[in-house]
Each structure stands twice: as C-alpha cells, then as structure tokens.
Amino acid sequence: MGDVLAGFHAVWEFDTDSVLIRFERGIRRPKLFQALGERRVPYEALRSVEVSEGRRGTVVLHAVPRRGADPLMEAADGQLKEDSDPYRLVLPAERETLAEFYADELRTALGPVAKEPADRHLVAAPEAPLHFKAYDGKASFDGRSVAFRWSWTGASSAKWKCGDRNFTVGELAGVEWRSPEVLNGYLRLLERGARDTAPGEADQDPAAVVFGLGYGPVHESLPFAAAVLQAVRAAESDQETPEREPVRRAGDAGRDPADIADRIRHLGELHEAGLLTDDEFSAKKADLLAEL
C-alpha cells in the first residue's frame, strides 16, 4: 500500500507485506506505547480488522492478531485495558471513511489461515536485556536466562531460604503474567518438567515475583514477559538445542562483598527468629561466601 495513517497516539505505515506501527511519545501517551517504540506487524499475523465508534468524537481502526502470533498479546492474555491495546489506532470521527478504506485494504491482505492460531511468533518481542523492579525483588533477562534477586524488605522467608534464582530459557515452558493493575499481580516462570501440582501463592513461589504499590508496572513487566516467552518458544522449536547449562541457584559469581555481607546478616536475622534451622543457615551462608 505504501501509505501512512496518523492517529492520536500512533502512526501506521503500510507496506506490501506488513504494517509498521510507530508509537508517538508524549505525556498523555500510554507508557506501554512509549516503551514499545515501534513494532512491525506482518499481515499474516492478523486475524481480522474492524472499525468502530470510539469515545469523544473518535473512530477506531482495530487490527486483531492471530492467537499465538504476538508474544506481547499472548503474555497479556486479554488483560490489557482498551486504551493500552497496541493494535488500536484512534482517529478523529471525520476520518471514518478513510479508516474503512484501510480496513478493507488490510482485509484483502489477510491470508487463508487468518482464522487459525499461528504456529510461531510472527511479531517480534522487545529485545533483551530487560529488567524491572518488583515488590519483592529485581528481575532481569539477558536473552538467555532470567534472574530474580530478592529484596530485603519485600521477599518472603520462603524466597530467602531458596536464595536468588537464575533460570535458563531451556528450563522454562512458559510465562504467566497477571497484570499489576489488578489485585495480587505477579510474573511467574513456568518450569519445564515441573510437577503437575498447582503452584502456591506468588509471594511464596521462588519462580515468581510479585507486583503492587507501583512495582512491576505494565510498561516494564509485560514487555519483559513477552521477551522471555518468545525466547522460550524459539528454544522449543530449535531442532538442535545445545546442551543446557546447570541452573545456578545463588546468582552469579563475583558478587559485591558488601552485598554478600548484607545478605548473610539478613540470614542471621532469619536464623535468630527461628525461620532457618542451624543446618539451613550454615548451608546458605556457605553458598553466599562461595560467590565472593
């Protein structure tokens, strides 16, 4: 098509086989859009295209992705608010005819399998490295592994007993994201080969970080979840997966000695409070000292 359609929060640039969505920056723009920057969406990633009446004298051009085509929308799992949907282009109501024209153009570009789930991700997730601060720790992803480092004040004793966690992509089967905009939001990593028993509360699960009180906002935690999910799916489809490295349960070697000392002091407090046995305290202390 080669045309450009500008809306209130984004600009859609139509190409022969895809649409480039560029999100405009500004104080009133959704923070998720600013975090995404731009996204190229192949027409084969779309399920349908709709035009509907918007609020306050607007019209909305809405492209609906195929299930499984976009890791961001797969991770969101229908939890995004309408105003934060990156596939909605809001236009002035007087441009409804133009919106209908482009909707028809996009519909003609949809393939014969548009109604079927995609067998792979067709839209790229945000690139690593990515990180965000949760209520009970810090989460980071370098493209190969996810690290959780627990915080002093927020992490439960169950997580402190397990120590900082590091998960390679090959060990994971998926990601579960519960929006921070609802009660008890969290990001949970689903481990491959885990027992079929239902996981416990996120604040007690060492494979999860919890949100709340402004921690883990959508524009930080959702792109993170999407990037991890895309890496997991890519590893699953790789025919020649290299031998997986062992999990390192206590973080990376060469940690800051001051950080190690702080953590040992905290373990001592847990020990004195009766939350750690003598053997558990000794083992965890030895693990931390080994990281120096």
Q: Give pLDDT tens digits for 27-54.
A: 678 999 999 999 999 999 999 999 999 9
**End-to-end CA, the chain:** 59
Q: Residue 88 corresponds to which amino acid?
A: R
Kindly tell me the burial class for residue 36, based on how many C-beta atoms sit within 10 Å of its own C-beta (0-12, 13-18, 19 or more). buried
pLDDT tens digits, residue range 174-229? 999 999 999 999 999 999 987 555 568 999 999 999 998 899 999 999 999 999 99
User: DSSP for 123-140?
Assistant: SPPPPSPEEEE-SSEEEE
CA 274, 280, 283, 287 dihedral sign is negative
Categorize the per-residue pLDDT at 245 as very low, low, confident or very high, splitting at 50, 70 and 90: very low
CA–CA separation, 228 and 245 (whole Å): 17
pLDDT tens digits, residue range 95-133? 999 999 999 999 999 988 999 999 999 999 999 999 999
